[in-house]
Amino acid sequence: MGTSPESVDVLLSLQGITKCFGAVEALVDVDLQVRSHEVVAVVGDNAAGKSTLAKIVAGVLSPDAGVVELGGHPVVLPNPAAARAQGVEMVFQDLALCDNLDVTSNLFLGRELRGPFGRDDARMEEIAVQVLDSLASRIPSARTPLRELSAGQRQAVAIARTLIGQPRVVVLDEPTAALSIPQTAEVLIHVQRLRDLGLGVVFISHSMTDVLAVADRVEVLRHGRNHGSFDTATTSQEELIGAMTGARVAPRRLQVV
């Protein structure tokens, strides 16, 4: 891992995170750090603990041991609303969207704006349009019912939703898993835009290509433990897969020029 001087803000820091489900050790003593303007990919085989780690960051699960720090301060995240309040947003694997509601309603789900008599629908719609534009989403109208959108557009809504709360850290759990190449292109561009906005992004994926395309650093998990940290500028797909599966791979010497 490259040196990380104090001048760069560490937005999220996990130290010694352990989580067990009964006898199953999902995570054991896991560390993770995410800085501003940084995309950290978390990779590993099935049951490596990636989703569990993401859920702990998002407040869906609580760790059995370990410390979660946001902006340098230890925090407790008992539920997703608390995580959101602390500036952590998550895009879940199944997107967590309601098909029977429209785009604006989904963007503000759980944090609707209130006016003098009930909801402030007008203001929510204004903000929705702004957020969708800022990500250059290809969604013509914020009133479209979600069930009429394509998979890529739904993904765009799920990502756009993370910007409503003006977060510091965004966690994406398998965002490109079910997408075509053009849809993947849009999602990866969105991830880059989140990074350009100064957020820290945790990118969980099993697609090595997507990870190497968009991440700055890759953290490998294996059987719930840290198993290597790699700089995407210098690592290779072979090296990452080697770390994921535990096979020994001679480090590749690639001149950075």
Partner 1 sequence: MVRKAPGSQSSLRAANKALVLQTVQRWGGLTQIELAAATGLSPASVSTIVRDLFAAGVVETATTTRNGRRAQLVTVSRRMGLAVGIQFGRRHVHVVLADFALHPIAEHTLPLPFEHRVDTGLDRATVLMADLLERVGASFDDVAGVGVAVPAPVEAGTGSISVAGVMPGWDGVDIAQTLSKRTGRPVYVDNDANVGALAESALGAGRQVRDVVYVRASYGVSAGVVVSGNVHRGYAGVAGEIGHVMVDPQGRMCRCGNRGCLDTVAGGAALAESVRPVLGSLTLTDVVRRAGDGEPACARVVADAGAQVGAVVAVVAMVVNPQVVVVGGELAETGEVFLGPLRERIGHRVVGNSVAPLEIVPAELGSRAEVMGAMLLALQATEVSVPVSPETAVEVV
Partner 2 sequence: MSTDTKLVPSPGPDTDVSWGRRLQGLGGNARQYGIVAALIVIIALFQWLTGGKLLMANNVAALFQQNAYVMILAIGMVMVIVAGHIDLSVGSVVAFVGGIVAVSMRDWGMPWLVAVLLGVAVGALVGAWQGFWVAYVNVPAFIVTLAGMLLFRGLALVIVGETIAGLPPSFINISKGSLPNVLGFAGNSDVVTLVIGALAIAAIVVSQARARISLRKHRLHVEPPVVFAIKLILVAAGVGALTVILSFSAGGTPIVLVLVGALVVAYTFVMGRTVFGRHIYAIGGNRQAARLSGVNTRKVDFWIFVNIGALAGVAAVVTTARSGAAIAAAGTNYELDAIAACFIGGAAVTGGIGRVSGAIVGALVMGVLNMGLSIMAVDPSWQMAIKGLVLLLAVAFDLMNKRRAGTQ
Where are the strands (E) in the chain, listed by range? 10-21, 24-35, 38-43, 65-70, 73-75, 88-91, 114-115, 118-119, 169-173, 200-204, 217-222, 225-231
Q: Is 179 helix (H, G, I), strand (E, B) or coil?
A: coil
Of 142 and 215, CB closest to partner 2? 142
81 binds, among partner 2, partner 1, none (CB under 5 to 8 A by kind): partner 2
Q: 51: which residues sit within 8 A by CB, 6+ positions away?
A: 93, 173, 204
Of 105 and 235, CB closest to partner 2? 105
In angstroms, rounded to a whole number, what is the distance separating the alpha carbons of residues 75 and 82?
Answer: 10
User: Which of these, 255, 216, 185, 220, lies nearest to 35 by C-alpha position?
Assistant: 216
The least CB distance from residue 110 to partner 2, in Å, is 3
Interface with partner 1, residue 182, by CB under 8 A:
yes
Residues in contact with partner 2, shown as a per-residue x/- string from 104 to 123 under the rule CB under 8 A? -x---xxxx-x--xxx-xx-
Looking at 56-64, 73-81, 154-162, 213-221, which segment touches partner 1 (CB under 8 A)? 213-221
In angstroms, rounded to a whole number, what is the distance separating the alpha carbons of residues 27 and 226?
Answer: 9
In angstroms, rounded to a whole number, what is the distance separating the alpha carbons of residues 242 and 250?
Answer: 9
Interface with partner 1, residue 102, by CB under 8 A:
no
Residues in contact with partner 1, shown as a per-residue x/- string from 140 to 179 under the rule CB under 8 A? xx-xx---x-------------------------------
Q: 26: which residues sit within 8 A by CB, 6+ positions away?
A: 19, 20, 49, 52, 224
Sheet with 24-35: list strands edge to edge: 24-35, 10-21, 65-70, 73-75
110 binds, among partner 2, partner 1, none (CB under 5 to 8 A by kind): partner 2
Task: Give me the residues that bind partner 2 (CB under 8 A), please.
Answer: 60, 79-81, 84, 92, 94-101, 105, 109-112, 114, 117-119, 121-122, 125-126, 143, 145, 147-148, 150, 152-153
List residues near partner 1 by CB under 8 A: 2-5, 7-8, 35, 37, 129, 136, 138, 140-141, 143-144, 148, 180-182, 184-185, 188-189, 192, 196, 208-209, 212-214, 216-217, 231-233, 236-237, 254-257
